[in-house]
Structure 1
């Protein structure tokens, strides 16, 4: 009987040590971009938005300390690649990102849409369009990589939505590829008539959070736990 009691004590001790080993004794550094309604800077200076709230709820439930900072999107990703940050969000899968980071379970719906001037009869998903018409896309996005990989004629990669919409209005390009929620939020905030444009679905590309492979190698338990908790708060129904 004493042997069973001793084994029980040793098991509890080992379990508690394993649990304490699954702690992160620092803030994890998270980068993102200004990309309403998913993430944006609040008047308080903190980062808000629907994707941000999911991330905060998950990490709070996991008792993880964190710091979320907004950067230009290309820099936000490069900081994770270069080891200056641990994670970035919200992002869809691509091969380049996955060379240095691992995507979590996706938790935010996203659709890519083509936006064209209302009088256009072009089909941006057609091979004819792909081979002959100029398009534009935001710099550093997965959409940019998609266009490049599929040999679209990319005539502009501005760093913000304002410049992208101006290119379309000036008819310097025939279409822009964007997240429809983001551009429609931009239209609403800037009192732009969305009826000036037509939109055509390109792809369904849900979003998650990329964690650096270095971070996950140091905390091998982390991603499974994150994915288990994020199911509770996912915006994908």
Structure 2
């Protein structure tokens, strides 16, 4: 199947209306995101295509804010790299939940914080590596998932990156299979995944950075709707779900 057709089928199959029926003239905000518990995900074991059960703390916050503003929300669930590319090309109005990144700032404007995020190193319990040691950067084989700010940070800071899988679950698998010595991941996401898999005791973690998450809005959308971002930010405090 050609790549263009594959992407289109994913978008159509995963497009979800996350608000109640509204008037025809109600403006629509279209945002891209990815399947990442607990910020936004499908229930375990549930079919993903056209599934209204896609939800999470970031999705609920955005849904609440948009409803308070009188807009209708459409969320497209995609691979994370593709979600950002669609915002950059103007195919959607923005993407979430994302932390600040210079490359993202070039084509989009970030909202205030909609959910907290902490970056943490995860290593196997019996690993002798310590991310706080000076030798770790040059000796440890590390990984981050494709399209993530964490992976970009690892590469920009010259870590020995040997794994770039497409998602957090596959990233964890690389660690458990000992193909890497450590992975950098969202503490909340990884902990939930480990608990669900019953493998929390198999890894240990070290805190690194606090990187709050927001919605990135395409600059063209912001230009067309100059009052939107300020109104969106004003509603966040009343809608936070984390």
* CA–CA separation in structure 2 for the residues paired with 1:199 and 1:211: 33
1:34 aligned partner: 35
Q: CA deviation at 1:235?
A: 4.9
Which residue in 1 is equivalent to 2:183?
Answer: 176
- Taking structure 1 as the reference length, what is the TM-score of the superposition? 0.85
Match of 2:194 in 1: 187
**Which of 224, 229, 233 is the matching residue for 2:230?**
224
Query: Does the CA-based 8 Å contact 1:125-1:202 persist in structure 2?
Result: no
Structure 1 residue 125 displacement after superposition: 4.1
Paired residues for 1:205-216 under 5 Å: 205-216=211-222
Question: Partner of 1:117 in structure 2?
Answer: 124
Q: How does 1:121-140 map to 2 (within 5 A)?
A: 121-140=128-147
| Cα distance in 2 between the residues matched to 1:172 and 1:148 | 18
Shift of 1:54: 0.4
Task: Flag the structure with larger Rg.
Answer: 1
Deviations 1:104-141 (A, max 9, x none): 00121110110001112322244421122210111100
Unpaired runs of at least 5, structure 1: 1-23
Is the deviation greater in 67-76 or in 35-44? Answer: 35-44
Higher mean alpha-carbon deviation, 154-163 vs 28-37, is at 154-163
**C-alpha distance in 2 between matches for 1:53 and 1:25:** 20
TM-superposed deviation, 1:167: 1.3
Kindly provide the CA deviation profile for residues 50-71 of structure 1, in whole angstroms up to 9, marking residues without a partner as x. Answer: 1100000000000011201110
User: Which of 148, 164, 172 is equivalent to 2:171?
Assistant: 164
What TM-score does the superposition give when structure 2 sets the normalisation length? 0.83
Aligned match of 1:52? 59
Q: Deviations over 1:176-222 (max 9, x none)?
A: 000111112212222x3211111000111111110000000011100
Structure 2 distance, partners of 1:125, 1:214, is: 42
Tell me which residue corresponds to 2:13: none
Q: What root-mean-square deviation, in Å, do the aligned CA atoms of Structure 1 and Structure 2 show?
A: 1.6
Return 5+ residue gaps in structure 2 as ranges.
1-24
**How many residue pairs were aligned?**
212
1:100 CA drift (Å): 0.3
Deviations 1:159-186 (A, max 9, x none): 1233222211121211000011111221
